[in-house]
Structure 1
Amino acid sequence: MKRLGFLFDGYTFGSMLKGIAVGSGLMQGQQLHSDVVKMGFCDNVYAASALLDMYAKCSRVEDADKVFKYMPEKNTVSWNALISGYAEIGNLQRCIELFMSMEMESMRVDDATFAPLLTLLCDDVFYDLTRQLHCKITKHGLQHENTVLNATITAYAECGCIEDANRVFDNADGSRDLVTWNSMLAAYLDHDLEECGFDLFLEMVRLRMEMDAYTYSSVISSCFGDAEQSLGKSLHSLVIKRGFEEVTHVSNVLISMYLKSSTQSVDDALKVFEHIDVKDYVSWNTILTGLSQVGASEIALRLFQKMHNDYLVIDHYAFAAVLRSCSDLATLQLGRQVHVSVVKSGFEGNEYVASALIVMYSKCGIIEDARTSFDASHKGSSVTWNSMIFAYAQHGQGKVALDVFDEMTKRNVKVDHVTFVAALTACSHIGLVDKGLDFLKTMETKYGVSPKMENYACAVDLLGRGGRLMEAKELIKEMPFEADVTVLKTLLGACRACGDIRFATEVADRLIELDPGDHCTYVLLSDIYGYLKRWDEKASVKRLMREKGVRKVPGWSWIELKNEVHAFNAEDYSHRDCREIYRALEELTNEIR
């Protein structure tokens, strides 16, 4: 246009700057800024507003503010662009200052004024401010504008007031779009109100709404555990029917759902993974993390090897997941190779990778290398400290573990409930019962950490190992919540240590009532009867297992040979070389004799 001699005006510059802002083309924007100045359009409100919007969207909000400062005439678009720019970098104070200035100058506000402000109100301390803005929104008649409506629902939910979010949603009948429904759905699910979330989703289905990938991924992400497994599979069918199985994000959530639902759903997760055409790093991290968490570590290692062979980018999440798998299988040689890759990739200092390295070396029996990994980490949060305390505790070095705890508190590293699980475990391993109980009592008063179920379970184990079963019973009665399966199993183990078969039977009955399909309860009770040589009762437990269709899950062992992990259990004939293996085992047995 310049070459052909066309005349520019404020609208020409405004249109070009809008295009540049969308593409974040800062250099081109700065060149146009120079042309705006040269041609005398700095005073043009349309061109100047587009200019400051361009700077804001290119993350140069200070430059946007300078343009704004020298504008002789400002309109609502100018103010909104600057508020949006500061909202993008999270500067709530400056956003509020600009909003108050708008009001003082009697500038007209609209939905684009309030929406950026509301996105910054993401904590319960902002509840009063959210209400004040909501009142102003209503005063200006903007409560049914979709951008403001949706942002208000999210703001109330983020402030912890789901009732207000629900009230806004209910009052918006007739003004809701898909984002409104998705916002309310996310609010319910973020507050662990899965039943309300599922009901809302079913209402969307009943209304025949055209749902998007976000809707499905939100509701699928809340389907975990055996109770929701059938619902998760139904949603998977619906995803396929609606054509969203090709969306990578939805497939990633399906993988996570299957691996969280049950150890029996590994094959379903793998099928979803294999059918993803474009796997992103989240796809790989989700499958690796999920497999390591459900104990399918051999498969996780094979997939990691494929990642490595295909020269895919491996990040700290993938390294942490594969190191957990190495820990499960105690594959020291492979773990060391992964450690070399970690160092080459620059992730040795990452707290999650360092934590996984500590656990891996600890489980492989090399506590010195675990300590070396700990020393090389950044140690800025509790993650690596907790792992190191656990490692020393599990190696029977309880005193060293407590020394690490003391060092952690001296450095003012923020402790959490996991820190105290580790500290209590250390006390349990070296018989410091009173010291452990003191940790439990002072968690909240001295360290500001509320005890959780795991902490009480550790304390019960501590008392059981110390032969103080009556105190363990009293502690469970004094807990601020109902004892779960973990606490009761720990108590059952304490009954065995103390030889209290009558109470053990009561606890076992309660456990069977809570989870009749868990083989661990029956096995533990059977072992107690066997320990006390009460063979008739031991046989009756086995009969009860048969009647209820409960089978003992066999234990597995692993051996690492030439970077390949072989898994087997008792009397296992599944390996292709089983005859040679048993022949060698027989020869070794004869030599031992």
Structure 2
Amino acid sequence: MPCRDTVSWNPMIAGYVNCGNFETAFEILRTMKICGFDLDGYTFGSILKGVASAYRLDIGEQVHSMIVKMGYAANVYSGSALLDMYAKCGTVEDAYVVFQCIPERNSVSWNALIAGYVLVGDLGTAFWLLDCMEREHVELDDGPFAPLLTLLDNTEFYMLAMQIHGKIIKHGRAFDNTVCNALITSYSECGSIEDAKRVFDGAVGTRDLVTWNSMLASYLVHNKEELALKLFVDMQWLGLDPDIYTYTSIISACFDGAHKNHGKSLHGLVIKMGLEQSVPISNALITMYLKSNNRSMEEALLIFKAMESKDRVSWNSILTGLSQIGLSEDALKFFGHLRSVVEDIDHYTFSAVLRSCSDMATLQLGQQVHVLALKLGFKSNEFVASSLIFMHSKCGIIEDARKSFEGTPKGSSITWNSIIFGYAQHGQGNVALGLFYLMKESRVKPDHITFVAILSAFDLYGRAGCLNEAKALIEAMPFEPDAMVWKTLLGAYRICGDIELATQVASLLLEIEPEEHCTYVLLSNMYGRLRRWDAKASVTRLMREKGVKKVPGWSWIEVHNEVHAFNAEDHSHSHCKEIYLALGGLMEEIKRLDFVTSSKVLMHDVDRVDECIDSTLCLG
């Protein structure tokens, strides 16, 4: 253009800002200034929008100086943009000063200031500003309501959410999509799925994809997977095209394994829609297969290997999966590969690899991982600290576990649970219980893991025969007991030989997790301990009928910095003959001391050990 003016330059700045190219937009602004072109409120408004999106407070302050110098401080457009910039950069005090200097404030100015206080979590000031808007008769659009609702994310805010809903209806904004979607999410997070559903049902005709996704996520937050799956089917019937968020959400509905067939159908739909290379969707599918009760590691690995692009979540998912299903040796090898590919490993990575070190009791390797975690700045991370506590206690060094606990923040239950579990594993129930009381004195809220840890500290009071106390503790839990709690209780009943109660708990567990082998094994072991061989055989039959297989237990021992792995009746080790010869000597000593009889160890199992030793030595 041979003849340029401010009106010509402004769209160029706005265009680059809208494309996310803030640096070029700022260079154009500097060129305008050098060439002597006038800057106006629209110029500053556009550049400040870019500053806010890039969180460049330093440049924003320079632009602010230019605005004051050129006399645009009172301009509504540049003033509101300046206010928005300070608010989004987290300096709400400066935003409020700018707000006070704007002579004629409009709803944009008010909304920007409220959003700023919401961003820093100042709920009180944000609500006070909303009341001020009403008192000054400023027209309320959807601007202030949606940000405010994002702060109402706990059951204690339920009444406040209802008040905001009343204001929304009063000002005629109930059918604005942004407000409607925020209301659904807020009610859900405040614990009222019924109110969330009422808002969703009332938005017929105005729902967009975000509305459906919000309701879908709400069902999943409240563990209503069946309703979430039905909602997804309704979306399909209405011809709505799900986005990545929809797919990742609905796939998570199949995480528990109860809906594994639906999960496979969703996997097929993902392939049909050509979305198998979407990293978030592939990550969700990997997690789904890993969390299903049958632990479909093969399917998860196939998806992982087929991914053309992988992110940190992809790698962590496989690492965590290997660790959780007991393939700790494979997990450690995978960690070595991960380190050569992924630059920015996070606390999830360390938590998973430290768990594998715990399972294998590889103290030296665990200490090396600890040093790496410290080097990368994870010293105060509670997840890493929790894993370190667990690793040290599993390796038999409870003193180091306590040191890790004392040297980390204790604001949540995560580290407390680990140290309580640690002392439970070491048979120090009194110390574990003392830590539980100290946890409550520190005003840290216990969760279901805490209660499992406390119950485990005394074998759920089972070894002392205090099952009534165990039951009372479970009934006192401020939430519904999950499968982990019931498994702990079943273990206690197994120890005490209470067949009737053990059978009741086992039946409940088999309804919750019909494909989980641990329940069958615990029940079978109890029957065997009581020499009820017919009942033990019936459990074995039931496992066979349902296709449930016992996952082989592995043990590891670290000798001279080398890890040796073996499972029951294993003959694969190169020193197999010597190992079984030593084991035979130990078994003879056990029998000589009459430990078998006094401890009621199953003679069936002892005979199997003898047979295994004899066959190994004969083969040798």
1:226 is paired with a residue of what secondary structure?
Answer: coil
| TM-score with structure 2 setting the length | 0.79
- Counterparts of 1:349 and 1:226, CA distance in 2: 35
Which residue of structure 1 aligns with residue 565 of structure 2?
567
Match of 1:313 in 2: 344
Q: Cα offset for 1:355?
A: 2.3
2:496 paired residue number:
494
In structure 2, do the counterparts of structure 1 residues 290 and 504 end up closer, same or farther at CA, with 3 Å as the change threshold? closer
Aligned partner of 1:375 in structure 2 is 406
2:552 corresponds to which of 545, 551, 554: 554
Check conservation: 2:490, 2:522, Cα contact below 8 A: no
Structure 1 33/328 Cα, relative in aligned 2: closer, same or farther at 3 Å? Answer: same
1:344, 1:403 → 2: CA distance? 33
Provide the C-alpha distance between the structure 1 equivalents of 2:482 and 2:293, rounded to a whole number of angstroms. Answer: 22
Change (3 A) 1:225 1:343: same
Relative to structure 1, is the Cα distance of residues 58 and 268 closer, same or farther in structure 2, using a 3 angstrom cutoff? same
Q: What secondary structure, in the 3-state scheme, does the structure 1 residue paired with 2:392 have?
A: helix
State the 1:504 CA deviation.
7.2
The match for 2:298 among 262, 267, 270 is 267
Query: Is residue 393 of structure 1 aligned with residue 424 of structure 2?
Result: yes
Partner residue in 2 for 1:281: 312
Q: Aligned residues: percent identity? A: 56
Give me the whole-angstrom Cα distance separating, in 1, the residues matched to 2:127 and 2:512: 52
Please name the residue that 2:287 is paired with. 256
**Does structure 1 residue 88 correspond to structure 2 residue 82?**
no
For 1:145-164, list aligned pairs within 5 A.
Answer: 145-164=176-195
- The amino acid across from 1:306 in the alignment is H
Distance 1:88 1:78, change over 3 A: same
Instruction: Establish whether residue 230 from structure 1 lines up as the match of residue 232 from structure 2.
Output: no
Name whichever of 358-367 and 4-13 sits farther off: 4-13
Task: Specify whether residues 350 and 546 from structure 1 end up closer, same or farther in structure 2 by C-alpha distance, changes over 3 A only.
Answer: closer
After TM superposition, the structure 1 stretch with the greater mean CA deviation from structure 2, 508-517 or 232-241, is: 508-517
CA drift of 1:329 comes to 1.8
Aligned counterpart for 1:384 among listed residues 404, 412, 415? 415
Q: What is the identity, as a one-letter code, of the residue corresponding to 2:251?
A: I
Q: Which residue of 2 aligns with 1:142?
A: 173
Greater alpha carbon shift after TM alignment, 515-524 vs 34-43: 515-524
- Note the C-alpha offset of 1:216: 0.6
Amino acid at match of 2:576: Y
Q: Which residue of 2 aligns with 1:208?
A: 239
CA change 1:3–1:159 in 2 (3 A) is same
Q: Distance in 1 between matches of 2:537 and 2:153?
A: 58
What residue in structure 2 maps to residue 450 of structure 1? 478
The 3-state SS of whatever aligns with 1:227 is: coil
Q: 1:106 to 1:230 in 2, by over 3 A?
A: same
- The alignment status of 1:197 with 2:228, answered yes or no, reads yes
Partners of 1:432 and 1:15 in 2: CA distance: 72
Instruction: State the shift of 1:261 in Å.
Output: 0.6
In the alignment, structure 1 segments of 5+ residues that lack a partner are: 458-483
Instruction: Tell me which amino acid in the other structure corresponds to 1:127.
Output: Y
How far does the alpha carbon of each residue in 1:526-553 deviate from its partner, in whole angstroms, 9 at most, with x for none?
Answer: 6556555666776676666666666554
User: 1:581 matched to which residue of 2?
Assistant: 575
- Distance in 1 separating the partners of 2:473 and 2:530: 38
Q: CA deviation at 1:428?
A: 4.5
More deviation, 548-557/159-168 = 548-557
What are the residue-to-residue correspondences of 1:297-308 with 2, within 5 Å? 297-308=328-339
Q: Which of 40, 43, 50 is matched with 2:81 structurally?
A: 50
Report the CA distance between 1:250 and its aligned residue: 2.1
| 8 A contact 2:295–2:325 mirrored in 1 | no
The AA in structure 1 aligned to 2:45 is G
Q: Provide closer, same or farther for how the CA distance between residues 444 and 350 of structure 1 changes in structure 2, counting only shifts above 3 A.
A: farther
Tell me whether 324-333 or 302-311 shows the greater mean CA deviation: 302-311
- The 1:450–1:150 alpha-carbon spacing in structure 2 relative to 1, beyond 3 Å, is closer
- One-letter amino acid of the counterpart of residue 114, structure 1: F
Q: Does the alignment pair 1:6 with 2:49?
A: no
**Alignment partner of 2:205: what SS?**
coil
Shift of 1:159: 2.1
Question: Partners of 1:84 and 1:134 in 2: how far apart?
Answer: 18
Aligned 8 A contact 1:118 1:155 in 2: yes
Could you tell me whether the CA contact under 8 Å between 1:259 and 1:265 is conserved in 2? yes
178, 192, 195: which one aligns with 2:209:
178
Taking a change above 3 Å as real, the CA distance of residues 126 and 175 of structure 1, as seen in their structure-2 partners, is same
Q: Post-superposition shift, 1:179?
A: 0.8
Distance 1:348 1:86, change over 3 A: closer
Count of matched residue pairs: 556
Q: Is the 8 A contact 1:86 1:95 kept in 2?
A: yes
| 2:460–2:489 CA contact under 8 A, matched in 1 | no
Given the two structures, how large is their TM-score scaled by the length of structure 1?
A: 0.82
> Per the alignment, in what secondary structure is the counterpart of residue 204 of structure 1?
helix
Amino acid at match of 1:107: V
Structure 1 residue 77 corresponds to structure 2 residue 108: yes
- Once the two structures are TM-superposed, the CA of residue 590 in structure 1 deviates from its matched residue by 8.7
The 3 A distance-change label for structure 1 pair 78 and 211 is same
Change (3 A) 1:179 1:590: closer
